[in-house]
Amino acid sequence: MIRIRIRISMGMSALVCLGVLASPAHAFRPTDREMGTLPPFCAARFDSSTSPAFRTWRQSMGQDFMHIHHYCAGLNFLNRAYARSPGKDRDGTLAAAVRNFDYVLEHTRTDFSLRPEVLMQRGLAQSLANKPGEAIGNLNQALTMNPRLPRAYLALADMLVKQKNAARALEVITQGLRFNPDVRSLQRRYTELGGALPYPQAEAGPVPVETSAPDAAPTQAAPVAATPANEPPVPAQEAVPVVSEPKIGIPGNPYCRFCPD
């Protein structure tokens, strides 16, 4: 009887390791309720490959659509992490988010249209995981490729506020408003940081949505300089203190993907 119990226990452990009996918080596939908070292409990708939605999105996104479910899973893990208190469980959820974002970055083309957003979401996950060096690197990469990512400016500004550098934080938000002049969350942060009205004028000329290489963009958001920290910096970036999430979005998730500005 003891041997049978041991074998059953070992078998259950193996199934958990394989993800067959993973807890809901660590399940790869989003629940129906979670799917409703994700971009519409997520439901299509998790659907049958013969469904009309799957075929439509694959035609729209191209070959990189086949990997997009990892981006969706990463977003969902990040959403779950926002709803959890600090601890091992949240750390594991954030690690799962980063792994899925990494998969997308490694398996899609460098000119993939969602690459800047993947980098930004990875940066947000790393900031929540208290890995500010990687967070600042990812956010700067994202803004270099696409300066029209308001949440990236907000996260960078909060890093600077955390290290008591409100003046530099205001500069970051000012720069964000020049590329995103009508975003209310940036306008609110600008006012909170003491910015004078009227709001900064928009950048003249078109701004590329994304580029295949950082130096290919004629108009780019300047990287945020950071003060050194104990964490080893990522290449070409210095580490900064951990991000303090801004008060936007919905309760438990200040960076909600589809929240109004």
Using DSSP's 3-state secondary structure scheme, residue 66 falls into helix
- pLDDT, residue 3, reads 53
- pLDDT exceeds 90 at position 174: yes
Residue 175 identity: Q
- pLDDT, residue 23, reads 57
- pLDDT, residue 222, reads 59
Structure tokens at 241: 């203190």
Region of poorest pLDDT, from 2-6, 47-51, 113-117, 129-133: 2-6
- Res. 221 pLDDT band, cuts 50 70 90: low
Phi, psi for 43 (deg, rounded to 5): -60, -35
Domain layout of the chain by residue ranges: 24-111
Phi, psi for 149 (deg, rounded to 5): -125, 85
Q: Which residues pair with 250 in a beta bridge?
A: 253
- Answer yes or no: are the C-beta atoms of 179 and 192 closer than 8 Å: no
Angle CA 109–110–113, to nearest 5: 80
Other CB atoms closer than 10 Å to residue 168's CB: what's the count?
Answer: 19
- pLDDT, residue 148, reads 97
Helices assigned H by DSSP within 29-149:
32-35, 40-46, 52-61, 68-82, 88-107, 115-128, 132-145
- pLDDT, residue 49, reads 84
Q: What is the pLDDT of residues 236-261, one digit of tens each?
A: 333 333 333 334 344 444 444 444 44
Which of 92-99's residues contact partners 24+ apart within 8 Å by CB, and which partners? 92/26, 93/25, 93/26, 94/125, 94/126, 94/128, 94/129, 95/129, 96/26, 97/73, 97/121, 97/122, 97/125, 98/74, 98/122, 98/125, 98/126, 98/129, 99/74
| Nearest C-alpha neighbor of 221 from the set 131, 121, 154, 127 | 154
- Residue 11: which residues within 8 A CB-CB, separation 6 or more? none
Cα separation of 28 and 206, whole Å? 39
- pLDDT exceeds 90 at position 153: yes
Cα separation of 74 and 138, whole Å? 15
Angle CA 18–20–21, to nearest 5: 110
Is 0.75 surpassed by the pTM of this model?
no
Cα separation of 107 and 57, whole Å? 18
Structure tokens at 101: 């974002």
Cα separation of 84 and 198, whole Å? 39
Region of poorest pLDDT, from 4-18, 85-99, 109-123, 234-248: 234-248
